[in-house]
Amino acid sequence: MRKVPVNCLEPGMRLARAVLGTGGEVYLNAGVTLTQKYIRKLEAIGFYSVYVEDRLLDGVTVQDVISEKTRRDAIIEVRKALTEVSRPGMKAINVAQEITVTADSIVSELLRNPYATVNLVDIRAEGAYLFHHSVNVCVLSVLTGINYGLQKEQLVNLGVGALLHDAGKVRVPPEILNKPGSLTDEEFDQIKLHCAYGRDILKDHPAASVIAYAHHERYNGEGYPLGLKGRDINYLAQMVGMADVYDALTSDRCYRKAHAPHDALELISGSGNWWFDTKLVYNFLCCVAAYPTGTLVQLSSGEIGVVVDTPQGYSFFPNVRVLLNAQGQKVLPYLLSTVKENLWVNRVLDDVEVQTIRNMLETS
């Protein structure tokens, strides 16, 4: 399976993962063969990319770290909660049992597979960003918390706070929140207020309230709203802050294309004791793959192949199915561990190179 920009889709390709809408509803199921009509519809709705089946990964099963049902149910519950609090006169969320149950479900699934590595980038339409983003931040935060050694009750509180960390954005004028161009200083001041709004909205859930208020604080004191430094910043809020930065960077937005996961992880890895506590950074890096499954890469040896998976704790050192040797010649595919062979990824191939290699493999 590989991630393909919508403008590069061709009729006849088969979806490898279901395409979920704004409220968690299924637009198209995995296994659907794309037609020109479906492709135009995906583009019109605002999807930037989807996952399609890939013969280069035959025999490789790519699993999300949580089930599709759990992800879908979580999106539905977040949307319901944020829609409720956005109604006139609603001042606070009574963190209903549904959100806590949702967080508990995510935590329980991840605890059953504590060595899971995030190998996928979530697919979402532009209009669905806030709800999908909240669920992704929850998954990434809870995985970090598991690696850090938190107990289940702490993980559930972390999960609730992560799911609702951006609740205050419902009080920010949408024309500012969704502005495609640069923000003025005054508009950015309006955006910053979402932290205080979130604190007040979640006042009946102390852990979630603190997370919503402090997830934009930074270790060096350059964050907001209080400019807290170092360990004065709540550690759960820092976990959510890291996940928030990563997911935002790797998401397509109306004003920019998504950054590659390895670029986003390099930024996070260099932020220890600058943006976030170094120990928290280490635990975050342990559970996210820099090169998601399906990425075509050139190794330091010159060989070219497709990433199959990444062992936990070795974010930048994937297992690769080698397709071409260092001279660019087709070989019988074989699995290579960059960790064991003391190799590294030299670069990620661009879309043109990927298509050239695919054509060569199919015709030779």
State the pLDDT confidence band at 84, using cuts at 50, 70 and 90: confident
**Interhelix angle 129-148/152-163, nearest 10 degrees:** 160
* Whole-number pLDDT of residue 245: 97
Amino acid in the structure at residue 138: C
Amino acid in the structure at residue 73: D
What's the CA gap between 300 and 254, in Å, rounded?
Answer: 35
Least confident interval from 25-29, 84-88, 229-233:
84-88
Q: What is the pLDDT of residues 305-321, one digit of tens each?
A: 999 999 988 999 999 99
Q: What is the pLDDT of residues 145-188, one digit of tens each?
A: 999 999 999 999 999 999 999 999 999 998 998 888 889 999 99
Q: Assess contact for 154 and 122: CB atoms under 8 A.
A: no
Q: Check whether 23 has a pLDDT greater than 90.
A: no
Q: Assess contact for 83 and 131: CB atoms under 8 A.
A: no
Which has the higher per-residue pLDDT, 252 or 70?
70
Q: What is the pLDDT of residues 181-229, one digit of tens each?
A: 889 999 999 999 999 999 999 998 999 999 999 999 999 999 999 999 9
State the pLDDT confidence band at 355, using cuts at 50, 70 and 90: confident
CA angle, 139 then 265 then 104, to 5°: 10
Residue listed under structure tokens 């992880």:
265
Least confident interval from 181-190, 250-259, 328-337:
250-259
Q: Which of 172, 162, 249 is nearest to 208 (CA)?
A: 162
* Whole-number pLDDT of residue 331: 95
Residue 113 CB-half CA count within 13 A: 15
pTM for the complete prediction? 0.91
Whole-number average pLDDT of the chain: 91
* Whole-number pLDDT of residue 314: 94
How confident is the model over 128-137, as a mean pLDDT? Answer: 90
State the pLDDT confidence band at 116, using cuts at 50, 70 and 90: confident
Which has the higher per-residue pLDDT, 260 or 124?
260
* Whole-number pLDDT of residue 235: 97
Q: Is the dihedral of CA 175, 176, 179, 185 positive or negative?
A: positive
How confident is the model over 282-297, as a mean pLDDT? Answer: 94
State the pLDDT confidence band at 96, using cuts at 50, 70 and 90: low
The string of DSSP letters for 14-27 reads BBSS-EE-TTS-EE
Residue 272 bridge partners (DSSP): 276
Strands 296-299 and 304-309: antiparallel
State the pLDDT confidence band at 301, using cuts at 50, 70 and 90: very high
State the pLDDT confidence band at 89, using cuts at 50, 70 and 90: low
How confident is the model over 344-357, as a mean pLDDT? Answer: 91
Tokens standing for residue 286: 């342990």
Q: Check whether 342 has a pLDDT greater than 90.
A: yes
Q: Which of 35, 153, 18, 129 is nearest to 78 (CA)?
A: 129
Q: In this prediction, what percent of the chain has a pLDDT beyond 70?
A: 96
Amino acid in the structure at residue 151: Q
Q: Check whether 90 has a pLDDT greater than 70.
A: no
342 Ramachandran zone, left/alpha/beta (phi>0; psi -120 to 50): left
* Whole-number pLDDT of residue 122: 74
* Whole-number pLDDT of residue 326: 96
State the pLDDT confidence band at 364, using cuts at 50, 70 and 90: low
